Amino acid sequence: VINVDGTKRRTLLEDKLPHIFGFTLLGDFIYWTDWQRRSIERVHKVKASRDVIIDQLPDLMGLKAVNVAKVVGESGQPPARGRSCHRLGHWGLEPVSFRPGTNPCADGNGGCSHLCFFTPRATKCGCPIGLELLSDMKTCIVPEAFLVFTSRAAIHRISLDTNNNDVAIPLTGVKEASALDFDVSNNHIYWTDVSLKTISRAFMNGSSVEHVIEFGLDYPEGMAVDWMGKNLYWADTGTNRIEVARLDGQFRQVLVWRDLDNPRSLALDPTKGYIYWTEWGGKPRIVRAFMDGTNCMTLVDKVGRANDLTIDYADQRLYWTDLDTNMIESSNMLGESRWVLPGGGTPGQERVVIADDLPHPFGLTQYSDYIYWTDWNLHSIERADKTSGRNRTLIQGHLDFVMDILVFHSSRQDGLNDCMHNNGQCGQLCLAIPSGHRCSCASHYTLDPSSRNCSRLGVRGPKLWMRDPQPRRAEGLGGSPRLGAMLPSPPPPSSAPTLTGGPSSVCPPPAPTAFLLFSQKCAISRMIPDDQRSPDLILPLHGLRNVKAIGYDPLDKFIYWVDGRQNIKRAKDDGTQASVPAGSAGVWRGSQGGVLPRGTGPGGL
When mean pLDDT is compared across 131-145, 431-445, 448-462, the lowest value belongs to 448-462
C-alpha distances (whole Å) from 80 to each of 73, 75, 83, 84, 85 are 10, 12, 6, 7, 11
Predicted pLDDT of residue 72? 43
Is the predicted pLDDT of residue 467 greater than 80, yes or no?
no
Residue % of the chain over a pLDDT of 70 = 77
By the 8 A CB rule, do 74 and 55 touch? no
Q: What's the whole-number mean pLDDT along residues 31-57?
A: 88
At 433, the pLDDT band (50, 70, 90 cuts) reads: very high
Q: What's the whole-number mean pLDDT along residues 144-148?
A: 88
Could you give the 3-state DSSP secondary structure of residue 495? helix
Predicted pLDDT of residue 349? 52
Predicted pLDDT of residue 482? 35
Q: What is the mean pLDDT of the chain?
A: 80
- Domains in the chain and their CATH numbers? 20-69+513-572 (2.120.10.30), 108-141 (2.10.25.10), 146-339+347-412 (2.120.10.30), 422-456 (2.10.25.10)
Q: What's the whole-number mean pLDDT along residues 431-438?
A: 95
When mean pLDDT is compared across 95-99, 132-136, 226-230, 578-582, the lowest value belongs to 95-99
By the 8 A CB rule, do 579 and 588 touch? no
Is the predicted pLDDT of residue 554 greater than 80, yes or no?
yes
Neighbouring-strand partners of residue 231: 226, 246
By the 8 A CB rule, do 317 and 282 touch? no
Neighbouring-strand partners of residue 36: none
Q: What is the DSSP letter of 507?
A: P
Q: What's the whole-number mean pLDDT along residues 240-253?
A: 96
pLDDT tens digits for 306-350?
A: 999 999 999 999 999 999 999 999 999 875 444 444 454 444 458
At 599, the pLDDT band (50, 70, 90 cuts) reads: very low
The residue length of the chain stands at 605
Is the predicted pLDDT of residue 474 greater than 70, yes or no?
no
Q: What's the whole-number mean pLDDT along residues 260-267?
A: 95
By the 8 A CB rule, do 475 and 481 touch? no
Predicted pLDDT of residue 488? 36
* Pairing label, strands 50-55, 39-44: antiparallel
Predicted pLDDT of residue 409? 87
Is the predicted pLDDT of residue 595 greater than 60, yes or no?
no
Q: What's the whole-number mean pLDDT along residues 476-505?
A: 37
> For the chain, how long is the longest CA-to-CA vector?
92
Could you give the 3-state DSSP secondary structure of residue 512? coil
pLDDT tens digits for 381-395?
A: 999 999 999 999 999
Predicted pLDDT of residue 458? 52
Could you give the 3-state DSSP secondary structure of residue 237? coil
pLDDT tens digits for 64-110?
A: 776 655 444 444 455 454 444 444 444 443 444 445 567 889 889 99
Rounded Cα gap, residues 580 and 394, in angstroms: 57
By the 8 A CB rule, do 198 and 215 touch? no
Neighbouring-strand partners of residue 66: none
User: Cβ atoms within 10 A of the Cβ of 308, count?
Assistant: 28
Predicted pLDDT of residue 91? 40
Predicted pLDDT of residue 219? 94
**Which of 365, 399, 321 is CA-nearest to residue 151?**
399
pLDDT tens digits for 179-210?
A: 999 999 999 999 999 999 999 999 998 999 99
DSSP letters of 131-172?
-EE-TTSS-EE--S-EEEEEETTEEEEEESSSS---EE---S
Q: What's the whole-number mean pLDDT along residues 266-294?
A: 96
Predicted pLDDT of residue 54? 86
